[in-house]
Structure 1
Amino acid sequence: MTAFDLTGKLAWVTGAGKGLGRAIAEALAEAGASLAITSRTGEDLDRLAADLGTAHVLPGSVSEPGFADDCVADIVRHFGRLDILVTAAGISPSFRRSEDSTDEDWAQVVDVNLTGTYYSARAAGRRMLEQGSGSIITVSSVHARTGFDRIAAYAASKGGVEALSRVLAVEWAPRGVRVNVLAPGYFHTDLSAGLVAGKWSERLLANIPQNRVAAPPELGAAAVYLASDAAGYTTGSTLTVDGGWTA
């Protein structure tokens, strides 16, 4: 067994139906973890479960009060423990200029990306604190620390995720629970398709020293590291996977 081996661990991945969430779920499974997977779209979860061979499917929205608590209760009933949480559930902005965006635009993005992350981390953290161990990985974005046009709600929500994660890391470190942030740059996913393939692509690439948009599996190994014993002394950190953008 290596320090990166997740055999015997139970991982819950939100937003696992597609994109980066799916890629992270696949990487954790390849490293040996058993999986519970959440997405708003049950069909996406069923496809992932079929591709993986097995996974515990928990469809629903992390932004709904009580949903995360119900998920953790269900996971514990089935598996007896919860070792890893990855909060990959997220939605894209309306891509309107800030002065033209609506209250509904703001609320929808913040409810899923920030409030949903808090609900999920709080529910998982309660169980992990009882166990005295666990790894929580919140998913932020390069835009938690870099500006761009028409993404005010998205950037604010991801900045909030990073601040929240630092607080949880400090609170829970003495009781055995690690909390870290995974901050991806631009990857080829449905969420970013309108940017990376459209008129904004040239501007995006100009900000990326590696001069390319990444493939989702390139994020998986970073999640495995943060989830594993190899990161045993890593908490309150942000691991940025962005081709050099923030540098």
Structure 2
Amino acid sequence: MFYCRKPDLDVLAPVRQSLGGDISGSLFGSTKNVLVEGFTDKLYLKTFSEYFRRQGEDTTVGYQTSLVDVDGSKTEYMVRFLNAEGYDYAVLLDDDDAEDAKSHKETLVEKGVDEDSIVLVSDVLDGVDEETPVEIEDLLPAEIFCEVVAEKYPDDVDPDDLVQATGDEYRTIPEAVKAKLQEIEQGELQEGGFDKGDIAETICGRVASGEYDEEKIGEESLEAFGVLIEELSDVLPESE
């Protein structure tokens, strides 16, 4: 006996429900997507992609491409959705916990994610071993990140003291700066004193306005962001 599937049955309904309507619905604007684990990853990628585009360089992502914040835990569901819809994708993973990032990548591959579609932030940095944690903020000059943190912190903080704390190879820049602030405060930070999203919005706003120019950002950071964006672009097919 043959059974006909009901025409109104949505076989992706469980996936859509896991993703949330806002995420699944936002994809229909593009068939190419870069999945990121958080808001700040998306913001930095978009900002620096637009920076390179203004410079007339080909190292861009975002044009005809959706940058989708999948909050890490939803990556598997999003990839299932994209595969079912026939969309192309790249996945960007932070290495803020190096072992966790490696495990996350292996888990995604085991669940059917194409290994070639996964890019680690640490892939673009020279001399980084497998034990070193890396976040997208580590592509920035520590001076820029610490400058903004010091401006936003409720109490007076010397940005140079924060910069000096970023030399620990087993802590990302955000982790090292937060630990230094906790040391200064001798305990808990003041409420709202360290907000990575707020810091990212300020830095990206200054990059977009030109306040943070090529000299301020520095050749090393621009090259790192350029390589990261290029690697993500290489995963996706060229627009026809």
TM-score when normalising by structure 1? 0.36
Q: TM-score, normalised by structure 2?
A: 0.37
Larger helix share, 1 or 2: 2
Higher relative strand content? 1
Q: Which has the larger radius of gyration?
A: 2
